[in-house]
Structure 1
Amino acid sequence: MRARAVVAVVFGLAGLTGAARGADDNKELIVGTWEMVYSQIPAGIPVGIKLEFTADGKVTITFKDKDGQVRTEGIGGYKIERDTLVLTGKDNSKNDKGRIVLLNKSSLVINDEVLDKVMVLKKVEK
């Protein structure tokens, strides 16, 4: 129930901020490291995993493997197309895309429109 309330608040705030923000703002705000704090996607990116978006359009992922070792891997790139985040594989094939519901200095909420599920990430300070 608490998670639903959080998602409802986030969607409400997104409606207030989304119209005033442009695609260029999204490109600047997404750069950095983001940690998954909530996901409705059962087989998706697990909570605790970190995604780093670089200014040159690359994405790396940091996670713990089965042995508990922390690993970092380059998974490809990304593009921001208006309010849509498009992740591309290493061979530049489109892997996944989602609508950016909210993006500010500390929060990123993405709606996977195919599954109609939400992922919430928080900005990691270095």
Structure 2
Amino acid sequence: MHSTFGQAAWRKSSHCATGDACIHLAPAPQGAVRLTESSDPSGTVLTLAPATWRAWRRAIGDGRLPRPDAEPGPGGRLLLRSPDDQGLVVTTTTAQWEAFAAGVRDGEFDRPAG
């Protein structure tokens, strides 16, 4: 499933509910990926270096949050950070994270489309 924010070809999990309120992923230069949450009012976009993205996929595949990059926040939200983007935070819901994680486990983001 594709959406366009700016120039990037963003993808969301097929497990995401109807609409664009989901975690979206797009390719970035040098094998990195960009991640955003379309309903996050800050509009923050994280860049995950290839090694970080591999670590996230491994953790998600094992049924874990990619710690310390993802942690519970106030009001049942999840706060996502990238060690590659100091200080930036993407805020999402548990349901949106679970839809994204299901897509990761299904291999939907193994090779983000360019």
Give me the TM-score of the superposition, normalised by structure 1. Answer: 0.31
Q: Which has the higher helix share?
A: 2
Question: Between Structure 1 and Structure 2, whose CA radius of gyration is higher?
Answer: 1
Structure number with the higher strand fraction is: 1
